[in-house]
Amino acid sequence: MKRYLFSVVVLFILVFPALGAERLKLATTTSTENTGLLAYLLPAFEQQCGCTVDVIAVGTGQALKLGENGDADVLLVHAPELEEKFVAAGFGVNRRAVMFNDFVILGPAADPAGVREAKSAAEALAKIAAKQAPFVSRGDQSGTHVKELALWKTAGIKPEGTWYMEAGQGMGQCLTMAGEKQAYVLSDRGTYLAFREKVGLAIVHEGDAVLRNPYTVIAVSPGKHPQVQYLLSMQFIAFLTSPKGQRLIREFKDQVSGEPLFVPSAYQAPEGQ
């Protein structure tokens, strides 16, 4: 009887090796989690593939480092220059566009630095620096932080002083801190909409073309790290960029305003889809 049971167990393991063991480690940005997008998207993928997705929500810089070390299987990130270096170094493969939204500059509704008068995002930051108005930076090498630093560079300003505060936190915590201090802050629009009622900040600058915020998905290279769940990562990439995944992204909206939080970008959907 024991020999029979042992044989059944061995046969089960050989025929169904993935059942109960298929887990995908997704390293992603805090914005995809803070907005509720992952909680909305992942159940559909998990049901489709019979797997579990373990989410590691950090800044893009940290997510790419996890991929570089082989501590994640797939990445969903938003810092194009860092991503290109990651792929060029051989750490990532099959980088695909998934969606985009945009960055906005937030501040107190009274706008003491006069940011609403700025004609560009760089000029907006220059006005904040000139007034030494409180500004909260992510300070964590996230995609948002990388964009902020690029804007300061364009403005020809090195931000420093007591007015410039580095949070070293995710976007949600950073917005909370900025709200408490009635400070200016750069945020992705999706996380702002999700936190708008909690932080009491207003959009004081938007619409500059440089504020576009694209998200891509990247599989960690099995050539660098043979232990990664490469095939499952490819299924995840296929899901996000499929008509079904893109439709789900398009239908994900802010519960209060009804505004879409992300725009799918893997392909151009036909009219009515």
Contact 102, 192 (CB under 8 A): no
Round to whole Å and give the CA distance between 187 and 148. 9
Write down the pTM of the prediction. Answer: 0.84
Low-confidence ranges of the chain (pLDDT < 50): 1-19, 270-273
What's the pLDDT score for residue 226?
97
- For 107-131, the pLDDT digits (tens) are 999 999 999 999 999 999 999 999 9
Q: Which two tokens stand for residue 45?
A: 């993928």
CATH number 3.50.50.60 is the correct assignment for the domain at 102-211: no
CA distance 135 to 107: 9
Residue 53 neighbours by CB distance under 10 Å: 21
- Which residues contact residue 104 at a Cβ distance below 8 angstroms, ignoring those fewer than 6 apart? 186, 187, 188, 189, 192, 203, 205, 206, 211
DSSP 221: P
What pLDDT is attached to residue 257?
A: 80
Per-residue pLDDT at 17: 43
Bridge partners of 28, per DSSP, are 57, 76
| In the chain, where the domains are located | 19-101+214-264, 102-211
Q: Report the topology of domain 19-101+214-264.
A: D-Maltodextrin-Binding Protein; domain 2 (3.40.190)
Residue type, 232: L
For position 269, what pLDDT does the model report? 52
Q: Do domains 19-101+214-264 and 102-211 have the same CATH topology?
A: yes
Strands 74-77 and 212-220 come out as: antiparallel
Q: Return the pLDDT at 46.
A: 97
pLDDT of residue 4: 45
